[in-house]
């Protein structure tokens, strides 16, 4: 399922994901910020995952990668530019309903603290 080119991805901690599984909705946005603070859930396309992880989460040991099927989302998704980047990223404008998550991957840094795309996504 993670080989689907239409999937989008979100990096979070296992603790935040476990809380979402209990409530039925995920309301994080990006490292240390909530959906309420930012206004959307930051996501990446497959080719953006490693760059985002290395820029924002370098060395973090307890991360997971959520593979999300946009067709299953109950909140709208917009692909938009972000300040300071020429790339466009998918943003979910509302809570992430957990049934839109089609796979949960362990996402651990290498010995030097950097991240590589998980093997199943290469």
Query: Stretch 70-89: mean pLDDT, rounded?
Result: 94
The answer to the question of residue 1 being in a domain is no
Domain count, the chain: 1
pLDDT at 1 over 60: no
Parent domain of 80: 8-112
The answer to the question of residue 3 being in a domain is no
pTM (2 decimals)? 0.94
Quote the percentage of the chain above a pLDDT of 70.
Answer: 98
The answer to the question of residue 122 being in a domain is no
The answer to the question of residue 2 being in a domain is no
The answer to the question of residue 121 being in a domain is no
The answer to the question of residue 52 being in a domain is yes
pLDDT at 58 over 70: yes
d(CA 62, CA 79): 27
Classify residue 1 by burial, with Cβ atoms within 10 Å: 0-12, 13-18, 19+: exposed
Quote the percentage of the chain above a pLDDT of 90.
Answer: 89
The answer to the question of residue 59 being in a domain is yes
CATH number for 95 = 3.20.170.20
pLDDT at 36 over 80: yes
């Amino acid at each position: 399922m993670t080989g689907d080119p239409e999937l989008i991805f979100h990096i979070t901690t296992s603790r935040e994901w476990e809380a979402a599984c209990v409530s039925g909705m995920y309301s994080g946005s990006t490292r240390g910020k909530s959906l309420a603070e930012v206004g959307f859930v930051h996501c990446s396309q497959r080719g953006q995952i490693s760059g985002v992880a290395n820029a924002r989460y370098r060395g973090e040991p307890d991360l997971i990668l959520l593979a999300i099927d946009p067709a299953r989302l109950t909140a709208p998704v917009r692909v938009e530019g972000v300040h300071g980047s020429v790339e466009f990223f998918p943003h979910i404008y509302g809570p992430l309903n957990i049934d839109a998550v089609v796979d949960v991957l362990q996402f651990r840094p290498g010995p030097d603290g950097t991240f590589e795309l998980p093997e199943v996504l290469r």
